[in-house]
Amino acid sequence: LSPLLGRKSKTKPNGKKPAPEEKKIYLEPEYTKSRITDFEFKELVMLPREIDLNEWLASNTTTFFHHINLQYSTISEFCTGETCQTMAACNTQYYWYDERGKKVKCTAPQYVDFVMSSVQKLVTDEDVFPTKYGRDFPPSFEALVKKVCRYLFHVLAHIYSSHFKETLALELHGHLNTLYVHFILFVREFNLVDSKETAVMDDLTGVLCSSACAGGGGGNGASGGGAGGAQNHVKER
Ligand SMILES: [Zn+2]
C-alpha cells in the first residue's frame, strides 16, 4: 500500500466526516494581494467636513449597491438554483423574510434577486433617498441604510465563499477585493453592519484590511499623506 493511499483513508477518531467547508482559496496570499488600486480607502470613506451625513450615507450606499450588483452579475450565470440551493456564505445560511416577517425558502439567486430589487426600490424612492433640494431624509433613514448594507454584505460574502473560482477565472478578484475593502471600511466607519454579522468573513477582512483597517481607532499613521487631516472629520452624529 502506498503511503498516499494510506493517508487518504484516514478518518477522524470520532468517525465524523470533516467539516464540509471547502478550502478558502480567497485567502491565498497571491489572491489577497490583488487590488485594482492601492488607494487609502480609510480616508476616502470619512465624512467630508462640508457634507451632510445622510447625503454621504445615501450616495455611498447607492454606489455600493451598483458596484456589488455589477460584481455579482459577472458570476450570476454560475449562481443557479442547482449550484446554490440556499443563500450561504461559508457555513452561514441567510434567510429572506417577506414584508410580513415570514421566512421565505429560497435559493441563492432568488435571495440575491430579492436583495437587489428591494434595494433598487429603496434607493429610487424619493421619500427614502431624496435627491431633490429641500427634501428631508425620513427618520427611519439610518435603519434602512443599515438594512441595505447588511444585505449587500451577504451578497459579497456569497461571491467569496461560493464563486471565487469563477471570479478568478474572469480575473476580477482584484476588483472584488478592492470593492470589499472599500465597503467594509465604509460600514465600519459609520457602524452600519453589526460585527456579529460580518464575523463570517473576519479571516478575509483581517488579511485584506490589515494595512488599511488598523483596528478601528487611532489609524496607522504610516501611510497616506495629509498628516493630522484625519483627526478633523466629524465624529458626532
Ligand atoms: Zn451562488
7 inside domain? no
105 inside domain? yes
Helix (H, G, I), strand (E, B) or coil at 103: strand
The answer to whether 158 is a known ligand-binding residue is: yes
CATH number, residue 220: 1.20.140.30
Angle (CA) 32 37 38, round 5°: 75
How many angstroms separate the Cα of 151 from the Cα of each of 60, 70, 83, 181? 15, 15, 20, 16
Cα–ligand 1 centroid distance for 78 (angstroms): 7
In a 13 Å sphere around the CA of 19, the CA atoms on its Cβ side amount to 7
Mean pLDDT to the nearest integer, 50-63: 95
pLDDT confidence of residue 20: 53
Domain that holds residue 204: 30-229
pLDDT at 161 over 90: yes
Residues 192, 198 contacting (CB under 8 angstroms) = no
124 inside domain? yes
What would the pLDDT profile of 86-96 be if each residue is shown by its tens digit?
999 998 999 99
219 inside domain? yes
The answer to whether 67 is a known ligand-binding residue is: no
pLDDT confidence of residue 14: 53
16 inside domain? no
pLDDT at 203 over 90: yes
pLDDT confidence of residue 5: 46
151 inside domain? yes
What would the pLDDT profile of 210-232 be if each residue is shown by its tens digit?
865 544 443 333 333 333 333 33
pTM: 0.80
pLDDT at 72 over 60: yes
9 inside domain? no
pLDDT at 234 over 60: no
- Counted domains in the chain: 1
Cα–ligand 1 centroid distance for 13 (angstroms): 33
Q: Which DSSP helix (H) or strand (E) runs through 163?
A: helix 141-169
Cα–ligand 1 centroid distance for 221 (angstroms): 39
- What grid cell was written down for 163? 464563486
The pLDDT mean for the chain works out to 84
Alpha-carbon distance of 65 to 61, in angstroms, equals 6
Residue with cell 466629524: 234
Cα–ligand 1 centroid distance for 72 (angstroms): 9
Strand partners, 87: 94
